[in-house]
Structure 1
Amino acid sequence: MNIWLRRALVAVALLVWVAGLAWAYWWFEGRYIKAFERPVFFQGEQVAPPFPSGQVQVVHVWQSNCPCSAGHEAYVDEMTARFAAQGVRFARSGQHSTDGMSPGLSKLPYWPIPSVWAGWPGAPSIAIWAADGSLAYVGPYSDGAHCSADSSFVEPVVQALLAGRKVNITRQDAVACLCELPALENSADVDTRSKESHP
């Protein structure tokens, strides 16, 4: 067979393969991920953070079997390690079991969602407290199924808090890729007025 013909056939086969992958990705996004993208309202009542005040604190509300989590996992691990090196403390919530979690998330202490947050819109999402123990942010990581340092809502909030600036984004409408959380059977009863950490 002519070498040019063979190269042309290989090139066509590669183009068909790439087109097939692109179509499969588009189909998955449109038919599967998009089904989880919905308008939601986050409203976080003031509750004590998971640790004693004195440092910026972040809680990852997570669910491993959620297709929305896959697009955030690498970023969450990288961001957690980066900000932990700057003194930010992290915990996880939502899914109690570590099954299917990345190594970074599975090492974090578990913090049950407070009963006053029983209507939490879903996961993956996040809650952030300032160093004085005041709730600064509740909401999604980003406005889509994938998150990076460039698209993250979290980065500017944590950076502002580390710089000593005030942030108060505890009620917001958003469109985000979220899965519903299971019933909050292990929710903590937390005094919403307290600024001190519960034991």
Structure 2
Amino acid sequence: MKKVHRNLVVVLLVACWGAGLVWALSWYESRYVRTFERPAFFDGLAVPPPSDTPRVQVLHVWQAGCPCNGGHQAYVNDMTERFAAQGVVFARAGARDIDALPRALRQLPYWSMPEAWSGWPGAPAVAIWGADGRLAYVGPYSDGASCSEESSFVEPVIQALLAGRKVDITRQDTLSCLCELD
């Protein structure tokens, strides 16, 4: 009888271990093993910019731990430093953990996403306002998993706004590498 009882306990422990393993694997797959390059719709409802300053403003929307960040970090650092020297004002949203941010974003003021943007499709992404305070662009940095000066959607928008031209790209369907915002 003791042997049967011991065998039953062992079988139950193995079954619990197996169930736990299946749950852990499914949780891991749902969180980390998925296609991040996906279609998304950005709908930038007009909201005021992060600062009252009458300058071109850029909001970096960043999600900590997103695999898509890696291909954008060097560009974000370079672009932020380059355009800040030209008077562009920058802020950040999304990730609050300073250690999870690219170097250039660590010093930027944090801006809470407005309630109107509660359905923001993901990160890394950006919102840009003209010096007149009108929203000019919302969307990804580029259409792929990495971004450079040549592939950036952001670069031409900022240059046009600095030159005094009007830009209105606030509603767009896109295919890009994005992670859900926490």
- For the criterion TM > 0.5, the same-fold answer is yes
How far is 1:34 from its partner? 7.5
Structure 1 residue 67, shift from structure 2 partner: 0.4
Partners of 1:167 and 1:59 in 2: how far apart?
16
User: How many residue pairs end up in the alignment?
Assistant: 151
> Which residue number in structure 2 is paired with residue 104 of structure 1?
104
1:86 is aligned to 86
Distance 1:86 1:43 in 2: 28
Percent identity at matched positions?
Answer: 65
Distance, in Å, in 1 between the alignment partners of 2:135 and 2:100 is: 29
Gaps of 5+ in 2: 1-31
Q: What CA distance in whole angstroms lies between the structure 2 residues aligned with 1:169 and 1:78?
A: 23
- Following superposition, the deviation at residue 139 of structure 1 comes to 0.2
- Once the two structures are superposed, residues 115-168 of structure 1 have per-residue CA deviations (whole angstroms, 9 ceiling, x without a partner) of 000000000000000000000000000000000000000000000000000000
5+ residue gaps, structure 1: 1-31, 183-199
- Please state if 1:154 is matched with 2:165: no
| Cα deviation, residue 71, structure 1 | 0.3
Report the equivalent of 1:59: 59
- Taking a change above 3 Å as real, the CA distance of residues 158 and 98 of structure 1, as seen in their structure-2 partners, is same
Off by >3 Å, runs of 4+ in structure 1: none
- Please name the residue that 1:145 is paired with: 145
Bigger Rg, which one? 2
Q: Distance in 2 between matches of 1:132 and 1:166?
A: 10
> CA separation in 2, counterparts of 1:85 and 1:146?
24
1:65 to partner: Cα distance: 0.5
Structure 2 counterparts to residues 172-183 of structure 1, below 5 A: 172-182=172-182
TM-score (norm 1): 0.74
Other-structure match for 2:5: none
2 CA distance for matches of 1:149 and 1:34? 27
SS across alignment from 2:99: coil
1:168 partner letter: D
How many Å separate the matches in 1 of 2:49 and 2:132?
A: 10
Task: Indicate if the aligned counterparts of 2:69 and 2:124 stay in contact, CA closer than 8 A.
Answer: yes
Q: Which amino acid aligns with 1:64?
A: A
Aligned to 2:9: none
User: Could you state the TM-score of these two structures normalised by the residue count of structure 2?
Assistant: 0.80
Q: CA deviation at 1:102?
A: 2.1
- C-alpha spacing 1:42/1:173, structure 2 compared with 1 (3 Å): same
Superposed CA RMSD in Å reads 1.3
Distance 2:157 2:34 in 1: 27
**What is the deviation of 1:104?**
1.1
Cα distance change, pair 169–33 in 1 and its aligned pair in 2 (3 A): farther
Q: What amino acid maps onto 1:113 in structure 2?
A: M
